[in-house]
Amino acid sequence: MIHTRGLTRSFRARGETVEAVRGLDLDIEAGSVVAFLGPNGAGKTTSLRMLTTLLPPTSGTAVVAGHDVMTDPSGVRHRIGYLGQGNSAGSNFRVSEELITQGRAYGLSRAKSRTRAERLLTAFELDGLTRRTVGTLSGGQRRRLDIAMALVHEPALLFLDEPTTGLDPHSRADIWTHVLRLHKELGTTIVFTTHYLEEADLWARRVMVVDHGRVIADDSPEKLKAGLAGDRITLGTADRADAERAVELARALPIVHEVTADGTEVRIRTPHGDTQLPVLLRNLEAAGVRALTARLTRPTLDDVFLSLTGRTLRERADAAAPITTHDGA
């Protein structure tokens, strides 16, 4: 569905050239749900804007839904739906007006635009609001309308740029229910960016971790967490001597990423904490080391990012990272 080779984009900002995206090589097959995850300024939005024909790449190629973004942008546009970070529907317009206009923009007949609009209004629980002006809708309603508008032409591929940012938890869950039903019923390929880690974790089958304009990891959330971060076991011991012996015993476990001691506390990173912890406890007891507390923490995608870059996703990219410009976020 998406194939890119060496896709790059640089911006001129304050006399400096900033490489927002550096050599993106993507192969995304039809029917997948893919998340782009990374800190602000990592190049997620710039990548999406290139794939949706909004921004010409500086170099490289991108074939989206079977059409080249540079040589056949219209062919791409006919086949993709796009939800930007802003508000798709103009605030002075009526809900039904904007939906029908959108259908017409994709070349649907007036009658067809109208029936599609009606169906989408029902599907997104917006019926009853058709004559309302967009500016008077709530944040959640407005976002549902924006997604409905991205779907009037029944695209096989849907891009969502931070679909739920700024919404309350209830509205966020609501948006995902709609999007996933779409994926299930029509097999729509979905590519999204988010800065809610749990959304990438819960809904994406493939997560691409983006940093400094590059994809630095690409796998299912489960594999990323197991392979790169692993579970974290934290043991509390009575004294330093016990802690040191616990470190040795922990290092002897079959697959362990990292073992560190901090005073009487021992921290262990391992891909299978749930099976390792009982073994470790038995071994400690056999060696006469008393563990006072034992805690198992499952990893998050933030831990994945931390182990890849040494930074958390919450931090801004460091000084060397591309600065966030209006179109380079």
Evaluate whether 305 touches 313 at the Cβ level (below 8 Å).
Answer: yes
Q: Which is nearer to other proteins, 16 or 262 (CB)?
A: 16
| Rounded least distance, CB 206 to other proteins, Å | 23
Q: What angle do CA 257, 263, 264 make, to 5 degrees?
A: 85
Q: Which is nearer to other proteins, 53 or 276 (CB)?
A: 53
Name the nearest CA neighbour of 264 among 229, 289, 232. Answer: 289
| Rounded least distance, CB 306 to other proteins, Å | 32
Q: Which is nearer to other proteins, 39 or 84 (CB)?
A: 84
If you count DSSP H runs as helices and E runs as strands, how many of each does the chain have, helices first? Answer: 11, 14
| Rounded least distance, CB 300 to other proteins, Å | 30
Evaluate whether 47 touches 24 at the Cβ level (below 8 Å).
Answer: yes
Q: Which is nearer to other proteins, 57 or 213 (CB)?
A: 57
| Rounded least distance, CB 56 to other proteins, Å | 5
Q: Which is nearer to other proteins, 43 or 84 (CB)?
A: 84
| Rounded least distance, CB 174 to other proteins, Å | 20
> What would the 3-class secondary structure string for 37-63 be?
ECCCCCCHHHHHHHHCCCCCCCEEEEE
Evaluate whether 94 touches 119 at the Cβ level (below 8 Å).
Answer: no
| Rounded least distance, CB 90 to other proteins, Å | 4
Q: What are the backbone angles phi and psi of residue 80, rounded to the nearest 5°?
A: -120, 155
Binding site for other proteins (CB under 8 A): 52-56, 69-70, 73-74, 77-78, 80, 82, 84-94, 97-98, 101-102, 104-107, 146, 149-150, 326
List b or e across 265-275, with b for residues whose CB sees 16 or more CB atoms inside 10 angstroms: ebbbbbbebee
Q: Which is nearer to other proteins, 6 or 90 (CB)?
A: 90
Name the nearest CA neighbour of 106 among 142, 77, 127. Answer: 77
| Rounded least distance, CB 122 to other proteins, Å | 21
**What 8-state DSSP symbol labels residue 256?**
-
Q: Which is nearer to other proteins, 56 or 187 (CB)?
A: 56
Q: Which is nearer to other proteins, 156 or 261 (CB)?
A: 156
Evaluate whether 3 touches 62 at the Cβ level (below 8 Å).
Answer: yes
| Rounded least distance, CB 151 to other proteins, Å | 12
**The CA-based dihedral angle spanning residues 254, 255, 260, 265, taken in that order and rounded to the nearest 10 degrees:** -70
d(CA 309, CA 45): 20
